[in-house]
């Protein structure tokens, strides 16, 4: 039995830690098991990365482990390899990466064993009791009656609307008791797949795609580029049918906002199999249950958002990423991994195909498809009988606007509403007005902790900073001159919605943005009401753009396009192209022709014209060419190092010192330090440094070489700083 173990711990130090295995522990330690260990004054749970019979530390330096928590490795070997690869690629510790990959409940020490289920059952006394004794306690009577028919799982008490108080009373009477049983793992789907819905008859393009995909053996990565509504999901379902029939599982990743019951139901309706759903709204235990079902092979389909990428599968068959361009696949806080890139790596390691689907491929994926690294499949036609959309630009130079709306757009709205259709208006600014301005002195009210204006939220009576949690009642007087002539500057979704309510009193308005969908289930509620036609005018931020199907929407208006055309972020045009194309796809999906209108001061903008006339495909290829010319990703490779400090000079100095440790030549570039686009946030100054290389490997090697020296810098211990590889947002 090995005497020593190396352990990866969820701490930022990029190293593993050595411990001794005391004699009283009888489980033989193996790579991948969880262990509880002393660390400083606390105890942590980590994973064994290696075992050995010797150790270079002196007996005094080495501490014993507290316990081994598993009897076998927690994850399949492929997922260890994936996390190890990712930790190296994203320059974080293995322990930090593993924390991303393992459900919270397991990190806290929960058991891995097959799930048990607790249920209420009758005792002997309960079976014999006279139910008429309960005539005056109807809730207890109802419960006893139900339990005489069958045992009830704890969750069923609530879903059958039985009273918890009644449970307590009967328990106290000694008539019922709580028991638990282990669930048997049901793998019957692997022997006989039951289809519960007749698939559509595939059109020729879909049929070619499915034929190509089902022939793939081992690792392949494929881009399925199909216009909105062209039937990509139908292709996924047809592929799943083949994969499931082979007794293999499928992992389906969708954007955060795309994981609605409608999406999940489409998968549930087709096959009679267990679908495990994994997203950030689950409790730790629900998440663990879904994880167990995937790991045991019981769940044939695992569908989830970004972090579901790490879900183990006993019979891995395929990984599908829907809307692969979506930015929610990149984690922004902490370890900034990209689920799309890791999905491709996982496909490699597990030797299974990976399918990336979208109407608007990211330039990264497009490049890989164009240079032949990925297979490239197309769906060019809309699946149903939908007609092509009509597109138009409204030049708003010198035009009077009412709450951001031009005459032309209002008139067009009227036509569509009178015809009984729905209209969507996009405005990427929530709140009532993006700034509060003094009419007398022109003072703009700025957050005292950030380099940003307060947004006015009229309904809440507050001004709020969207970059920190700062909020105040709307001031009555100007902070600069004391005038009471304060007005909102610019238009946000809240103002637009309230203007439209007055303008179109007979057509109900709904607003969809982060403010109106904060509560759990509220987005779902709004979407359902839209589908039922309870709302005619839909006002929203880009939340509304993603993957929702609204067959009665015939007009889509984009109110403020100019911001996207002139952003400091080199990805802004790509994002705008995606947003524009996605929202255009919302119009006229069914049999009704759609119209898209775009308001801008830049009606001659070449990029805009290209996008509208030639479509996303050509637009994106030109963007890719421009990125290559400008030595930007995906042609070159990039790391963004962020630093923040109470004194700007500290952040600047740190980044200067880091920059000095990195090479500069024809193939390596250091840019900065420079202020972050949001220069000050929550009272701290924010600076950033870019390190770019022509060659991906060189970036890895150079940064790995510099990192130990960077960590030794005294300022590195004083300031908060972070590394973002392949940054998606330069903010
Ligand atoms: P996407 O995922 O590309 O947006 P979907 O798969 O959701 O497209 O298809 C759009 C609509 O067309 C859906 O209502 C779907 O049921 C329907 N559809 C897809 N493929 C077919 C087909 N081959 N025949 C008829 N209808 C189809
Ligand atoms: Zn702020
Ligand atoms: Zn003033």
Q: Which domains does the chain have, with CATH numbers?
A: 3-107 (3.40.1440.60), 116-182 (1.10.10), 193-379 (3.40.50.300), 390-433+490-625 (3.40.50.300), 637-725 (3.30.70.600)
| The 67-68 sheet, strands edge to edge | 63-64, 17-20, 4-8, 42-52, 34-39, 67-68
Atom of ligand 1 nearest to the CA of 228: 4
pLDDT of residue 590: 57
For the CA of 480, the nearest ligand: 3
Q: Cβ(216) to ligand 1 under 6 A?
A: no
Q: Cβ(234) to ligand 1 under 6 A?
A: yes
The tokens for 548 are: 């929702």
Q: Which residues of 115-141 are buried (b: 16+ CB within 10 A; e: fewer)?
A: beeebbebeeebeebeeeebeebebbb
Pocket residue to mutate for ligand 1, from 231, 265, 325, 384, most atoms within 8 A of Cβ? 231
Per-residue model confidence as pLDDT tens digits over 631-661? 999 999 999 999 999 999 999 999 999 999 9
465 has binding-site annotation: yes
pLDDT of residue 383: 61
Atom of ligand 1 nearest to the CA of 202: 23
pLDDT of residue 155: 67
Burial of 254: CB neighbours in 10 Å, binned 0-12, 13-18, 19+: buried
Q: How far apart are the C-alpha atoms of 204 and 465, rounded to whole Å?
A: 52
pLDDT of residue 282: 83
Q: Which residues of 421-454 are buried (b: 16+ CB within 10 A; e: fewer)?
A: bbbbbbbbbbbbbbbbbbeeeebebbbebbbbbb
Do 487 and 439 meet the contact criterion of CB atoms below 8 Å apart?
yes
Q: How many CB atoms lie within 10 A of CB 381?
A: 16
pLDDT of residue 258: 74
pLDDT of residue 87: 95
Helix (H, G, I), strand (E, B) or coil at 675: strand
pLDDT of residue 430: 77
pLDDT of residue 1: 63
For the CA of 679, the nearest ligand: 2
For the CA of 442, the nearest ligand: 3
The alpha carbon of 230 and the centre of ligand 1 are apart by a number of angstroms equal to 6
Per-residue model confidence as pLDDT tens digits over 191-249? 988 888 889 999 999 999 999 999 999 999 999 999 888 899 999 999 999 999 999 99
pLDDT of residue 385: 52
441 has binding-site annotation: yes
Nearest to 596 by CA among 578, 581, 610: 581
Which residue's alpha carbon is at the smallest distance from atom 11 of ligand 1? 229
Q: Cβ(55) to ligand 1 under 6 A?
A: no
pLDDT of residue 513: 83
Atom of ligand 1 nearest to the CA of 379: 3
Q: Cβ(681) to ligand 1 under 6 A?
A: no
Q: Cβ(551) to ligand 1 under 6 A?
A: no
What residues contact residue 591 under an 8 Å CB cut-off, 6+ apart? 384, 385, 386, 387
Q: How far apart are the C-alpha atoms of 295 and 298, rounded to whole Å?
A: 8
The alpha carbon of 302 and the centre of ligand 1 are apart by a number of angstroms equal to 21
Q: How far apart are the C-alpha atoms of 47 and 69, rounded to whole Å?
A: 10
92 has binding-site annotation: no
Query: Residues within 5 Å of ion ligand 2 by Cβ?
Result: 447, 449-450, 465, 467-468, 470
DSSP code for 81: H
The DSSP annotation for 299-323 comes to: EEEEEESGGGGG---SSEEEEEEES
Q: Cβ(585) to ligand 1 under 6 A?
A: no
Q: How many CB atoms lie within 10 A of CB 406?
A: 19
Q: How far apart are the C-alpha atoms of 432 and 421, rounded to whole Å?
A: 26
Atom of ligand 1 nearest to the CA of 237: 6
Pocket residue to mutate for ligand 1, from 360, 384, 590, most atoms within 8 A of Cβ? 384
The tokens for 309 are: 């990428």
In angstroms, what CA-CA distances link 303 with 70, 107, 265, 595? Answer: 27, 22, 11, 33
Q: How many CB atoms lie within 10 A of CB 471?
A: 14
What residues contact residue 13 under an 8 Å CB cut-off, 6+ apart? 93
| β-bridge partners, 277 | 303
Series of mean pLDDT values for 10-residue runs along the chain (731 residues): 87 90 89 93 93 82 91 92 96 93 92 77 90 88 89 74 86 90 84 89 95 95 92 95 97 85 87 91 88 94 96 97 94 92 98 97 97 95 67 88 92 94 88 82 85 84 84 90 84 90 95 81 83 91 74 88 76 90 74 85 87 92 93 94 94 96 94 86 91 95 96 93 90 57
478 has binding-site annotation: yes
Atom of ligand 1 nearest to the CA of 203: 23
3-state DSSP: the chain helix, strand, coil percent, rounded to 5? 35, 25, 40
Which residue's alpha carbon is at the smallest distance from atom 24 of ligand 1? 200
55 has binding-site annotation: no
Atom of ligand 1 nearest to the CA of 226: 3
The DSSP annotation for 534-600 comes to: S-SEEEESGGGGSS---TTEEEEEE---HHHHT-SSTTHHHHHHHHHHHHHTTTT-SSS--EEEEEE
Do 517 and 543 meet the contact criterion of CB atoms below 8 Å apart?
yes
């Amino acid at each position: 039995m090995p005497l020593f173990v190396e352990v990866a711990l969820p701490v930022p130090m990029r190293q593993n830690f050595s411990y001794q295995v005391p004699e009283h522990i009888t489980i033989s330690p193996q790579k991948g098991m969880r262990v509880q260990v002393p660390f400083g004054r606390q105890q942590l749970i980590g994973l064994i990365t290696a075992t050995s019979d010797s150790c270079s530390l002196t007996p005094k330096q080495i501490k014993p482990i507290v316990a081994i928590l598993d009897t076998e490795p927690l994850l399949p070997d492929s997922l260890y390899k994936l996390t190890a690869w990712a930790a190296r690629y994203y320059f974080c510790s293995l322990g930090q990466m593993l924390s991303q990959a393992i459900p919270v409940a397991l990190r806290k020490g929960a058991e891995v064993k097959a799930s048990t289920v607790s249920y209420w059952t009758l005792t002997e006394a309960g079976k014999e009791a006279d139910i008429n004794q309960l005539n005056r306690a109807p809730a207890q009577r109802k419960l006893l009656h139900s339990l005489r028919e069958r045992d009830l799982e704890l969750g069923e008490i609530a879903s059958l609307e039985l009273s918890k108080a009644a449970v307590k009373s009967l328990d106290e009477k000694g008539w019922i008791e709580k028991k638990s049983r282990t669930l048997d793992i049901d793998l019957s789907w692997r022997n006989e797949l039951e289809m519960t819905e007749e698939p559509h008859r595939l059109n020729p393009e879909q049929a070619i795609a499915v034929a190509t995909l089902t022939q793939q053996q081992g690792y392949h990565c494929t881009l399925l580029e199909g216009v909105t509504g062209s039937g990509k999901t139908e292709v996924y379902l047809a592929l799943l049918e083949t994969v499931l029939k082979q007794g293999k599982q499928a992992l389906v990743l969708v954007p955060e906002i795309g994981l609605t019951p409608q999406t999940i139901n489409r998968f549930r309706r087709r096959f009679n199999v267990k679908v495990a759903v994994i997203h950030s709204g689950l409790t730790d235990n629900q998440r663990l249950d879904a994880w167990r079902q995937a790991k045991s092979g019981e769940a044939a389909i695992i569908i989830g958002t970004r972090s579901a990428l790490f879900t183990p599968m006993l019979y891995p068959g395929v990984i599908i990423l829907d809307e692969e361009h979506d930015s929610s696949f990149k984690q922004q806080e902490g370890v900034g991994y990209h689920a799309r890139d890791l999905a491709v790596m996982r496909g490699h390691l597990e030797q299974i195909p990976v399918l990336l689907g979208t109407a608007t491929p990211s330039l990264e994926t497009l490049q890989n498809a164009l240079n032949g690294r990925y297979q490239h499949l197309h769906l060019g036609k809309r699946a149903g009988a939908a007609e092509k959309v009509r597109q138009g630009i409204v030049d708003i130079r010198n035009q009077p606007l009412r709450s951001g709306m031009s005459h032309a757009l209002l008139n067009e709205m009227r036509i569509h509403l009178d015809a009984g259709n729905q209209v969507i208006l996009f405005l990427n600014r929530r709140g009532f007005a993006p700034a509060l301005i003094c009419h007398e002195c022109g003072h703009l009210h700025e957050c005292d902790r950030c380099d940003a204006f307060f947004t006015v939220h009229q309904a809440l009576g507050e001004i709020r900073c969207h970059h920190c949690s700062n909020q105040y009642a709307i001031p009555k007087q100007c902070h600069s001159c004391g005038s009471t002539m304060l007005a909102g500057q610019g238009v946000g979704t809240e103002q637009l919605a309230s203007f439209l309510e007055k303008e179109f009193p007979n057509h109900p308005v709904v607003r969809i943005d982060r403010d109106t969908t904060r509560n759990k289930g509220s987005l779902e509620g709004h979407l359902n009401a839209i589908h039922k036609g309870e709302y005619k005018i839909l006002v929203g931020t880009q939340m509304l753009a993603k993957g929702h199907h609204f067959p009665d929407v015939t007009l889509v208006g984009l109110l403020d396009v100019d911001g996207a055309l002139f952003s400091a972020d080199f990805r802004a045009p790509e994002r705008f192209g995606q947003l524009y194309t996605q929202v255009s796809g919302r119009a006229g999906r069914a049999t009704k022709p759609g119209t898209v209108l775009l308001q801008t001061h830049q009606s001659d903008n070449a990029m805009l014209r290209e996008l509208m006339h030639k479509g996303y495909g050509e637009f994106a290829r030109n963007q890719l060419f421009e990125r290559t010319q400008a030595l930007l990703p995906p042609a070159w490779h990039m790391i963004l190092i962020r630093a923040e400090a109470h004194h700007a000079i500290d952040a600047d100095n740190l980044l200067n010192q880091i920059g000095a440790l990195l090479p500069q030549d024809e193939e390596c570039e250091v840019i900065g330090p420079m202020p972050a686009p949001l220069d000050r946030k929550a009272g701290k100054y924010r600076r950033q440094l870019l390190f770019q290389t022509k060659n991906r490997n060189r970036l890895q090697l150079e940064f790995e070489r510099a990192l130990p020296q960077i960590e030794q810098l005294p300022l590195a211990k004083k300031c908060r700083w972070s590394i973002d590889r392949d940054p998606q947002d330069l903010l």
